[in-house]
Every structure is written in C-alpha cells, then in structure tokens.
Amino acid sequence: VCSERTINGKTTYEQRLYISSLSNNAELLNHVIRLHWRIENSLHWCMDIAFKDDQMRARNGFAAHNLAILHRISLNLIRLSPVKRKGGIKVQRLLAATSDNYREQLLKLC
C-alpha cells in the first residue's frame, strides 16, 4: 500500500507492506487497516498508559489474563462514570485508588 500524508503543508510518501488473504480491494483494505488502528489507539494505548500493561510482570498461571480483565473492567467503569472528573484516565484511576467516595460513585454503591 502506498500512502500519502500531509502535515503542516509537508507531504510524505510511504510504502507499507501487509500480508493478508483479502482480495486486492483498496477500499476494503483501507477499512480493515483503519479498524485495526482504531482499536490500537482507543484500547491498547490507553491500557498501556493508564495501567502500564507493557510493564506487567505477572507470569504464573492465569494471573496475566485475570489482571487484564480487571484492568478492562476498571477502564470501562472510569469511561462510564456518572461523575465526570478533570484529568485523564490515569488520573481518574489513581483517584479511584485513593478516594473511597469516588470509588463508590464508580461502582454506583452510593
């Protein structure tokens, strides 16, 4: 795939190589690639920044899988919070860890 990108009036060209069983349909390939990066940018990047998933060292049994599930539940609770707070997800996660009131609001216990 040959791509063209213009930022602040400067245009760059790049060739990207993909391995796929999909047909050579440019519109379909563009759609699939954009879906992949949307997931990467909205979930994986967020999980790495807020929960430091890339530095997680849980290796025994199902520990890594279980922690990943708990992290996603926490992320969803913060995103769906009825009380909007200033700061990003990382700040809200730290606030939930230190504030009983905010944690109760996230869990809708009060």
What's the whole-number mean pLDDT along residues 70-91?
83
Provide the token pair at 50.
């807020």
Q: Do 50 and 87 contact (CB within 8 A), yes or no?
A: no
Please indicate, yes or no, whether the overall pTM of this predicted structure exceeds 0.85: no
| The one-letter amino acid at 99 | S
- Cα 51 to Cα 27, 56, 74, 105, 107: the distances in Å are 35, 9, 10, 20, 19
d(CA 93, CA 75): 8
72 in any annotated domain: yes
3 in any annotated domain: no
5 in any annotated domain: no
Domain extent, residue 103, equals 24-107
4 in any annotated domain: no
Q: What is the pLDDT of residues 44-74, one digit of tens each?
A: 777 877 778 777 777 788 888 888 888 888 8
Could you give the number of structural domains in the chain?
1
Q: What is the pLDDT of residues 1-54, one digit of tens each?
A: 788 889 999 999 999 888 888 777 888 888 888 888 887 777 777 787 777 877
